[in-house]
Amino acid sequence: MDAAINRFIFLLKQRGARISPAESLDAMQALARVALHERETARTVLRCTLIKDLRDLSMFEELFEQFFSLPKRAETAAPGDEPSPAAPDTTIQTPDAAAPATVGGQPDGDNAHEDALDIREYFDESQMVTHFNSHQDPHDFSLAEFGQNLVLSRRRELLDHAMQNALQVLKARRLKNASRAGELNFDEAIAALDADLIADAVTELLDELSDAEIDEGLLQKLSARLKGGIAQLPELLKRYLERELALRQQEAGRAARPARPRPDYRFTEQERREMTEIVQRLCRRMRGARSYRRRIGPQGRISVPLTLRRNMKYEGIPFQPVLTRHYDEKPRLVAICDVSLSVRNTARFMLHLVYNLQTLFEQVRSFAFVSDLVEISPYFDQLGIDDAIAAVFDGGLLDTEVDSNYGRALERFHNRHLAAVTAQTTVIILGDGRGNRNPPQVWALEAIRRRAKQLLWLSPESRGSWRMGSCDMPLYEPVCHHTEVVRNLRQLGEVTENLLRRSAIRP
Amino acid sequence: MFESIEHTIARLREQQYICDRKLATVAFLALQMQKPILIEGPAGVGKTELAKVVSAALGRSLIRLQCYGGLDEAHALYEWEYGKQLLYTQILRDKIGGLFEGIDGLREAVARLDLHEDVFFSERFLVRRPILQAIDSPDPVVLLIDELDRAEEQFEAFLLEVLSDFQVTVPEIGTVKAKTIPYVIITSNNTRDLSDALKRRCLHLFIDYPDEGRELEIVRLKVPALRELLAAQVVAVIRRLRALDLRKAPSISETLDWARALVLLDADALTPELLDETLHLLVKYERDTQRVNEQLAWIAEPIQAQPQSMSSEAALTPPQRPAEPDTNFLEQRRQEHAARYFTNYRGRTDGRTGGA
């Protein structure tokens, strides 16, 4: 069981969920405390211990479905990945034909269990009780897919071995017909599984079960039952392997992307210095969050403990009151930057701005978008400016050559990253607002403004051209606190000046 | 104690709290594993209420810590009572004087005083704030840390020690270990992400609006005076309101308020007029009011329909607004047309025209 859960956690991590070892242990402990006969309970337990972020929830549900149920048949194993029904091999016929006969032979009417072989034929319920800590009524007992997986996962090495063999055969096949490179045929993979291999697997599985903490009498009953059902166990194994294969293939799909030659996006020393200076001024203008701790200062409220402590020497008569107050911390920033072709020239400048913001401000999260939206703050944190900007334009992070879609990007941000925006955050959007006639999704921007302390939009296009073509700026502008035209350092300087002046007028 | 998931559901129901299996599983596990629960979800779905009913069901007292911006450990964990310390020193001056009788030399006097130093930094002079109270209580309690997302991130760091080891370190005294393990419930409205370190220590639970059957059950249980037909109508209307994309969807508590209001108004059945008059109990933003008014006919549908047909509806989607002739569209097209011939405006730097 631990092996199965571990594998599940491994796959979750691979799909981006952050799960610590402590959480894995929690999951195991929690599973031990509930009866596992119910799929939904197991799902809830795993979800509440492993998934702490709403964004991971859908991924979890999907993987749970995939992992804790055996695929129905090869054709449903991986719907998208099946390249051609006309596979050259005819050996597939055998398992295909065998499957409905054996499954249909069981007194299993309901569809819910049709997809998974009903293992209760082979295993005694009392044994299951010892194994899975189940307390259910024995008449009603049925080991759902979850349990089956646990049994199958007991012999991972063996299954891995079988997998390796299958993959070897598969690779050899792919070499033969190179025209279909990149495509994997599942039927072939399954057909490649040796009958001998499966027979071995069954014996080993039996051995393994006999090693487990089952008493003698039970084992005899078990093997007696197995003799009747041994023909079906290979089938079960096969399905298990199919599923594993599907999961592995997805993993492989996540592998590295082809690298592209890097264009040069370097900045001169002069540019850098000016930018830093301007951003520092901007930084001063943007008021940040109230500090967490009060600090001693000339103004504020009397702090009783500190006053008492300081005036101990005067026998507690408060000659020297101590005043404390909250101070504004450095602001938090969220920068969202358009890096599409239409603003390529200014995007370089904008990213430079974002980079500087990120180095100067403590809490900055930056995002880049064209049609898709990705967070780029980790790259900007780790790489130097030139490398970081090149990384964005390379197309490795997001496709920079599609048409920009502001509506989609804003909606994405709203759905995935809105929690990054708090009442202390200033949001800066850099872009020309040309969404190529896609729905502008102004509501998403409104939602961002509602949560943010301030929403600034810096556009590289002059105001006059905002009304031309498919520019959505007239829609976005009233939503923002400020919109400014910034195309180069000089303009950025002016804007900063402007903002500073405005803040001076304000109390 | 909760003995099993079913038992948990039953105990919570005794306290008039109807929950699904998911929630009960987490509530049960939290008690068994002695782990805090972190509950997220929209406002008004019963996050805080859960803490109250758990404390009632377990027969424990509830200690509540409401979080807000600027909350610090002096208000959450403990604070030294300087005034009391000072007062005691003043009153005990004679005693302190007596302490030094027969001692000559400053060094010896300090050494003597050193022996009694812990008197003034003892738990006697500690003001216990909610978290220390919860940990120090001789009987197990339920500790509710409400709306943690309102407090600063630094505050979360203070909670980590409490949540994982159930202990508090007071520098002057040492570590105060929990006498009994409190049942901790943390709620968050998700206005910001909580830190991973905190999430890691908790069981995570997301509560959403209940489905129609459960909500009906809740309304019937909480507002028994409401007529059966009316309750079904209320729930059906609320469901439709939630299906409209509102800025603030009506929560369960608002549903109950509305139901109570209808009882006070002595309504027999919901009529479109009555709905219109009482709508402000449910809709709290002006823009939402406009949107609801546009769709009022659709929302009022279940009122006219037979109650039997209501349960059969599968997916709720408001009807599309009738496409109104868009005057802006023509205007826009004209401008686009002009822009195509307008080649050298300064908005473009790459020489391309048209949308990109």
**Separation between Cα atoms, residue A152 and residue A454, nearest integer Å:** 55
Q: Check CB contact under 8 Å for A292 and B155.
A: yes
Tell me the helices (H) and strands (E) count for chain B, helix number first.
20, 9
Query: Is residue A142 predicted with pLDDT exceeding 50?
Result: no
Residue B37: the pLDDT is 94
Residues of chain A found within 8 Å of residue B83, distances taken between Cβ atoms: 304, 308
How do the residues of chain A divide into helix, strand and coil, expressed in percent and rounded to 5?
Answer: 60, 10, 30
A143 three-class SS = coil
Q: What is the DSSP string of B15-78?
A: TT----HHHHHHHHHHHHHT--EEEE-STTSSHHHHHHHHHHHHT--EEEEE--TT--HHHHTE
In the sheet where A425-430 sits, what is the strand order? A373-375, A363-369, A332-338, A425-430, A454-459, A482-485
Residues B156-182: pLDDT tens digits?
A: 888 888 888 888 888 888 888 888 899
Interior/surface letters B68-95, b for 16+ CB within 10 angstroms, e for the rest: eebbbbebbbbbbbbeebbebeeeeeee
Q: In chain A, positions 230-289, which contact chain B (CB-CB < 8 Å)?
A: 289
Interface predicted TM-score (ipTM) over 0.95: no
Residues B229-268: pLDDT tens digits?
A: 888 888 988 888 888 877 788 889 899 999 999 999 888 8
Residues A378-397: pLDDT tens digits?
A: 888 787 777 777 888 777 77
What one-letter code names the amino acid at A475?
Answer: L
Residue A167: the pLDDT is 56
Residue B65: the pLDDT is 93
For residue A352, what are the CA distances in angstroms to A114, A265, A333, A389, B99? 58, 10, 15, 8, 70
**Separation between Cα atoms, residue A225 and residue A220, nearest integer Å:** 9
List the single residue in B21, B35, B346 with the smallest CB-CB distance to A462: B346
Q: Check CB contact under 8 Å for B21 and A44.
A: yes
A43 three-class SS = helix
Residue B66: the pLDDT is 92
Work out whether strand A323-328 and strand A290-302 pair parallel, antiparallel, or are unpaired. Answer: antiparallel
Q: In the predicted model, what is the mean pLDDT of residues B54-80?
A: 88
What one-letter code names the amino acid at A413?
Answer: F
At A298, phi and psi to the nearest 5? -75, -20
Query: pLDDT-based confidence at B58, cuts 50/70/90?
Result: very high
Radius of gyration of chain A (CA): 31
Query: Is residue B192 predicted with pLDDT exceeding 70?
Result: yes
Closest CA to B318 of B246, B265, B261, B228: B246
**Separation between Cα atoms, residue A201 and residue A155, nearest integer Å:** 9
**Separation between Cα atoms, residue B301 and residue B198, nearest integer Å:** 46
Residues of chain A found within 8 Å of residue B204, distances taken between Cβ atoms: 47-49, 51-52
B304 touching chain A per CB within 8 A: no
Tokens of B195: 């830190």
Work out whether strand B174-177 and strand B62-66 pair parallel, antiparallel, or are unpaired. Answer: unpaired
**Separation between Cα atoms, residue B140 and residue B34, nearest integer Å:** 11
A407 close to A370: Cβ distance less than 8 angstroms: no
Proportion of chain A above pLDDT 90, given as a percent: 0
A164 close to A54: Cβ distance less than 8 angstroms: no
Closest CA to B156 of B128, B192, B180: B192
Query: Is residue B221 predicted with pLDDT exceeding 70?
Result: yes
Residue A270: the pLDDT is 73
Residues A295-326: pLDDT tens digits?
A: 788 888 888 888 888 888 887 788 888 888 87
B5-75+130-206 CATH pick, 3.40.50.300, 3.40.605.10, 3.40.50.720, 3.50.50.60? 3.40.50.300
Query: Is residue B141 predicted with pLDDT exceeding 90?
Result: yes
Q: Check CB contact under 8 Å for A468 and B342.
A: yes
Q: Map out the domains of chain B as residue ranges.
A: 5-75+130-206, 79-125, 212-310
Q: Check CB contact under 8 Å for A309 and B336.
A: no
Residues of chain B found within 8 Å of residue A316, distances taken between Cβ atoms: 86, 90
**Separation between Cα atoms, residue B39 and residue A154, nearest integer Å:** 35
A485 three-class SS = strand
Return the minimum-mean-pLDDT range out of A199-213, B45-59, B103-117.
A199-213
DSSP A295: E
**Separation between Cα atoms, residue A72 and residue A241, nearest integer Å:** 12
Range(s) for CATH 3.40.50.410 in chain A? 332-505
Q: Cβ neighbours of residue A432 under 8 Å, at least 6 residues apart?
A: A338, A342, A343, A459, A460, A461, A471, A473, B347
Q: In the predicted model, what is the mean pLDDT of residues A395-414?
A: 83
Residues of chain A found within 8 Å of residue B346, distances taken between Cβ atoms: 461-462, 464-465
Q: In chain A, positions 316-335, which contact chain B (CB-CB < 8 Å)?
A: 316, 326
Q: In the predicted model, what is the mean pLDDT of residues A201-223?
A: 54
For residue A81, what are the CA distances in angstroms to A74, A87, A252? 11, 13, 13
Residue A121: the pLDDT is 40
Residue of A nearest to B29 (CA): A30
A338 close to A306: Cβ distance less than 8 angstroms: no
A332-505 CATH pick, 3.40.50.410, 3.20.20.140, 3.30.450.20, 3.10.129.10? 3.40.50.410
Return the minimum-mean-pLDDT range out of B5-14, B216-225, B324-333.
B324-333
Residue B151: the pLDDT is 85
Task: List the single best residue of B4, B152, B195 to mutate versus A (max A Cβ within 10 A).
Answer: B152
Residue B239: the pLDDT is 87
Residue B183: the pLDDT is 93
Query: Is residue A218 predicted with pLDDT exceeding 80?
Result: no
Query: Is residue A216 predicted with pLDDT exceeding 70?
Result: no
**Separation between Cα atoms, residue B328 and residue B235, nearest integer Å:** 39
A496 close to A276: Cβ distance less than 8 angstroms: no
List the single residue in B80, B155, B203 with the smallest CB-CB distance to A305: B80
